[in-house]
Structure 1
Amino acid sequence: MIYFLTCLILLILVFISVGFFTLLERKFLSYIQLRSGPNKVSFIGMLQPFSDGLSLFTKENIIPMYSNALVYFICPIIGLIQSLFLWILFPFYFNCVEFNFGLLFFLCCLSFGVYSLIICGWSSNSSYSILGSIRSISQSISYEVSLSLIILCYFSLVDSYNLVGFYMVQLNNWFLFISFP
């Protein structure tokens, strides 16, 4: 039961931190563009992420006419769940899950994100959305190959695929200094 609660609290805090990260991004962009920014809701806009979330949940659902509606609405949920699996792997003070092959699970979860994109594009039955999903898939696959090669180079220094072991090795000497050419 405690295990489930720690994972649930972790995921709730991830959602809240994403909201405040978008607030930081909006404030930063408003300062660049010489605008006042989102500071109208409460003290310096601290309740703005919650009002954004409320407006997101109260929006009207638009269903394309010839789409496969069930698959069209389920695919983003599958993509969200898939991205939340990655946060459970991350080594915190309390670990939700500690895999011996955590790196391989991380790379597999990154590669599964492609399937939700292609099914979302296909289920809308629009040629433009299919082309957009194919474009985003080609971009994600191209960055995924280089990212996996970079990550595998660092894990070859650690001699383990465990993310906690990776964290413990770089506790005293950061890999930032090894990364310089």
Structure 2
Amino acid sequence: MTEFFQSFGMSYEWAWTVATLVGIITISLLVMFSVAMVIYVDRKVLGAIMMRRGPNVVGPFGLLQSFADGLKVFLQETIIPSAANKGIFLLAPIITFTVALAAWAVIPFDAGVVVSDINVGLLYILAISSLGVYGVVMSGWASNSKYPFFSAMRAAAQMISYEVSIGFVLVCVVLFAGTFNMSGIVMAQQGHGLGFVNGFFFNPLLFPMFVVFFISALAETARAPFDLTEAESELVAGYQTEYSSMAFALFWLGEYANILLMCSLCTLLFMGGWLPPVEWAPLYYVPGIVWFLLKTFFFFFLFSWIWATVPRYRYDQLMRLGWKVFLPMSLIFVALISGYLMATGHFS
């Protein structure tokens, strides 16, 4: 894209700046539109599994329901509790929303279709996703209410616990791929399974890590059965209880942007990203971005399916799973995978 703007007579610096801004705006708009659509899909899947209709009134097949909800919250009054810390109270949803969007800067939708193809893309995502806990803690503390504060403490402990396991799973992927670059990780999966399957999920050493990553992604984004931060019988709406209008909507948008991010990471790290499922020449006629979106929305469907069918964990069960099962398991597999790769001469 930089070359395209240079063709208009711009210097390289200005062309790079404009190209980067256009990329950021394009990705942000696409993510926001996708969030609106997946909220609709979420409600439709839940409705189908629970034998209800779901949204079906606003627009054809109810497709405009998410936009109507967005307009409704935009027109509502933002109510700030009198005892709240107003500055931090308003800053918290902005941080949550901004951090959720910033992580998409290194997500490649296709070969070369990425805002910033940096060499440490995976580390960047791990660092950015870790910042999301600040928005949660700030919102719970600034509300000056017990329910949001307790929920924020729960959410912080939950997110930090499962990020540890996710970190070790990423180490396993990096050991096989030999790079932290997201595009490099995708290309390392080409023909990885028996020479014709594109994806690390087919590897018997990495498949258990794929399962751990997927379940940890559910916990990291506080989706059922790990939505203990907003258990209706205990914590009302969780750390968002005191929020209304666009402040609440920013939390909602950030939450779904993070869910889509985790679905895209499942696609990029284990399912071959924009590559077709198998090495068959006719499949490469389908644009890579189509494969990427199909795989990502398949994982989102799994997220919705699990929400509708699996009962909620108790909080002690949630923490036990993270610290006593996933953490030791991921550590063991880091040792197994590194030992296997050393023995087979992979690093040489």
SS at 1:63 equivalent: coil
Select between 166-175 and 67-76 the one with higher mean Cα deviation. Answer: 166-175
TM-superposed deviation, 1:60: 2.1
TM-superposed deviation, 1:67: 0.4
Give the letter aligned to residue 180 of structure 1.
Answer: F
TM-superposed deviation, 1:145: 0.7
**Residue aligning to 1:125:** 144
TM-superposed deviation, 1:176: 0.9
Give the letter aligned to residue 165 of structure 1.
Answer: G
Separation in 2 of the partners of 1:115 and 1:46? 33
Aligned length: 181
1:63-74 superposed matches below 5 A: 63-74=80-91
**Residue aligning to 2:100:** 83
Corresponding residue to 1:177 among 192, 202, 209: 202
SS at 1:176 equivalent: helix
**Residue aligning to 2:160:** 141
Q: Deviations over 1:138-169 (max 9, x none)?
A: 00011111111111111111111111111111
TM-superposed deviation, 1:82: 0.6
Q: Does the Cα contact within 8 Å between 2:200 and 2:207 map onto a contact in 1?
A: no
- Tell whether 2:131 aligns with 1:112: yes
Separation in 2 of the partners of 1:57 and 1:135? 29
TM-superposed deviation, 1:64: 1.1
Separation in 2 of the partners of 1:122 and 1:8? 32
Identity of aligned residues (%): 36
- Tell whether 2:194 aligns with 1:167: no
Separation in 1 of the partners of 2:104 and 2:77? 30
TM-superposed deviation, 1:36: 2.1
Q: Does the Cα contact within 8 Å between 1:122 and 1:129 map onto a contact in 2?
A: yes
- Tell whether 2:34 aligns with 1:7: no
- Tell whether 2:126 aligns with 1:101: no
Separation in 2 of the partners of 1:116 and 1:168? 35
Q: TM-score, normalised by structure 1?
A: 0.94
Q: Does the Cα contact within 8 Å between 1:91 and 1:167 map onto a contact in 2?
A: no
SS at 1:96 equivalent: coil
Q: TM-score, normalised by structure 2?
A: 0.50
Separation in 1 of the partners of 2:67 and 2:147? 33
Select between 43-52 and 18-27 the one with higher mean Cα deviation. Answer: 43-52
Q: Does the Cα contact within 8 Å between 1:23 and 1:49 map onto a contact in 2?
A: yes
Q: Which sections of structure 1, spanning at least 5 residues, go unmatched?
A: none
TM-superposed deviation, 1:37: 1.7
Q: Does the Cα contact within 8 Å between 2:84 and 2:144 map onto a contact in 1?
A: yes
Select between 85-94 and 149-158 the one with higher mean Cα deviation. Answer: 85-94
TM-superposed deviation, 1:172: 3.1
CA RMSD across the alignment: 1.4
Q: Does the Cα contact within 8 Å between 1:20 and 1:49 map onto a contact in 2?
A: yes
Q: Which of 1 and 2 has greater Rg?
A: 2
TM-superposed deviation, 1:19: 0.8
Separation in 2 of the partners of 1:116 and 1:159? 33
